[in-house]
Structure 1
Amino acid sequence: MLSFNSRKILSQFLDEDIGKGDITSSLLSKKRITARIISRENAIVAGIKYAKQIFEIKGCKVKILKKDGSNVKPNQTIMTITGNAGKILTCERTALNLLTRMSGIATQTNNLVKKIPNKKTRLYATRKTAPGLRIFDKEAVEIGGGEKHRLRLDEMVMIKDNHIAVSDSLESLIKKTKKRYQKFEVEVENTQDAVLAAKEGATIIMLDNFTPTQIKKTITTLKSNKLRDRVLLEASGGITSKNIANYGKTGVDIISVGSITNSVKGIDMSLEV
Structure 2
Amino acid sequence: MGFSPKKELARFLQEDIGSGDVTSGIITNRKIVAKIITRQVCVVAGVKFAREIFAMNGCRVKILKKDGMRAKPSQIVLEISGPARSILKCERTALNLLSRMSGIATSTNELVKIVKSTNPKTDIYSTRKTAPGLRFFDKEAVMIGGGKKHRVTLSDMIMIKDNHIAVEGSMIELIRLAKKKSDTFEVEVDTQEDAIMAASLGVPIIMLDNFAPQKISSTVLALKKLGLRDGVRLEASGGINAKNIQKYARTKVDMISIGSITNSVKAVDFSLEM
Class of the TM-score when normalised by the shorter of the 2 chains = over 0.9
Alignment of 1:19-38 (within 5 A): 19-38=18-37
Find the counterpart in structure 2 of residue 49 from structure 1: 48
Q: Displacement of 1:199 after TM fit? A: 1.2
Partner of 2:39: 40
Secondary structure in 1 matching 2:132: coil
* Equivalent AA in structure 2 for residue 234 of structure 1: E
SS in 1 for 2:149: coil
- 1:114 to 2:113 alignment: yes
Structure 1 residue matching 2:256: 3-state secondary structure: strand
Q: Residue 248 of structure 2 corresponds to which residue in structure 1? A: 247
Counterpart secondary structure, 1:16: helix
Q: Distance in 2 between matches of 1:77 and 1:176?
A: 54
Q: Which residue pairs with 2:207 in the alignment? A: 206
Match of 2:96 in 1: 97
In the TM superposition, residue 4 of structure 1 has moved relative to its aligned partner by 3.3
- For the residues of structure 2 that align with 1:168 and 1:237, how far apart are their CA atoms? 23
Measured against aligned partners, the alpha-carbon deviations of 1:166-190 in whole angstroms (never above 9, x if no partner) come to 1121111111111121111000000
Match of 1:272 in 2: 273
- The amino acid across from 1:143 in the alignment is I
In the other structure, the counterpart of 2:188 is 187
Return the alpha-carbon distance in structure 1 between the equivalents of residues 136 and 263 of structure 2. Answer: 14
Q: Which residue of 1 aligns with 2:86?
A: 87
Q: Which residue of 2 aligns with 1:127?
A: 128
Whole-angstrom distance in 2 between the partners of 1:84 and 1:150: 41
Tell me the TM-score normalised to structure 2 length: 0.98
- Please give the alpha-carbon distance, in whole angstroms, between the structure 1 residues aligned to 2:198 and 2:17: 51
Taking the aligned partners of 2:160 and 2:47, their CA distance within structure 1 comes to 36
After TM superposition, give the deviation of residue 213 of structure 1 in Å. 0.4
Instruction: Supply the AA of the counterpart residue of 1:150.
Output: R
Provide structure 1 residue ranges, at least 5 long, that are not aligned to the other structure. none
| Counterpart amino acid of residue 180 in structure 2 | K
Q: Which residue of 2 aligns with 1:263?
A: 264
Question: Which amino acid counterpart does residue 51 of structure 2 have in structure 1?
Answer: K
1:15, distance to aligned residue in structure 2 (A): 0.7
Which residue of structure 2 lines up, in the alignment, with residue 215 of structure 1?
A: 216
Q: After alignment, is 164-173 or 251-260 more displaced?
A: 164-173
User: Quick one: distance in 2 between partners of 1:170 and 1:225?
Assistant: 21
Task: Read off the aligned partner of 2:103 and give its amino acid letter.
Answer: G
| Matched letter for residue 148 of structure 1 | K
Query: Equivalents in 2 of 1:163, 1:103: separation in Å?
Result: 35
Aligned to 1:66: 65
Q: Which residue number in structure 2 is paired with residue 238 of structure 1?
A: 239
Secondary structure, aligned partner of 2:168: coil
Cα separation, 1, equivalents of 2:189 and 2:206 = 7
User: 2:59 & 2:49 partners in 1: Cα distance?
Assistant: 13
2 CA distance for matches of 1:272 and 1:53?
19
Query: For residues 269 and 73 of structure 1, what CA distance do their matches in structure 2 show?
Result: 11
The answer to whether residue 123 in structure 2 is matched with residue 136 in structure 1 is no
Residue-by-residue CA offset, 1:140-172 (whole Å, 9 max, x unaligned): 000000001111110100001111111121111
Equivalent runs, 1:145-164 vs 2, <5 Å: 145-164=146-165
Q: C-alpha displacement at 1:10, in angstroms?
A: 0.6
Question: 1:198 deviation in Å?
Answer: 0.7
Compute the RMSD of aligned alpha carbons.
0.8
Query: Equivalents in 2 of 1:201, 1:165: separation in Å?
Result: 21
Secondary structure, in 3 states, of the residue corresponding to 1:46?
coil
Q: Distance in 2 between matches of 1:263 and 1:234?
A: 21
Partner of 1:197: 198
Once the 2 structures are TM-superposed, how far is the Cα of residue 91 of structure 1 from its aligned partner? 0.2
Aligned length: 271
Query: Using the alignment, how far apart are the partners of 2:245 and 2:77 within structure 1?
Result: 31
